[in-house]
Amino acid sequence: MDMDADKLANAQRVLGARSETEAVDMALDYVLYQAEVFEALDRLAVEGGLIDAFASSSRSSRSRRRVAEP
């Protein structure tokens, strides 16, 4: 693979990886995890989302803003 050596070194440092290979593997794990999270949020949106627990209490629970809506 051809990649930016500085970017790889920075990622290795941030991730605490012992090698470049470990840094790339950890970064790929992170990307795949994020994909799972976004897929779950998409499924949640299809099911109707969540009530925003931090929305203003002056609004009724029916009119509260929903999060993760399509």
20, 12 contact by CB (below 8 A): yes
**Structure confidence at residue 19 as a pLDDT band (50, 70, 90):** very high
Query: What element of type H or E holds 9?
Result: helix 5-15
Of 18 and 63, the one with more pLDDT: 18
Query: How distant is the alpha carbon of residue 59 from its chain centre?
Result: 29
pLDDT attached to residue 51: 76
Tens-digit pLDDT profile for residues 26-57? 999 999 999 999 999 888 888 887 777 777 66
Asked whether residue 60 carries a pLDDT value surpassing 60, the answer given is: no
pLDDT averaged over every residue in the chain: 84
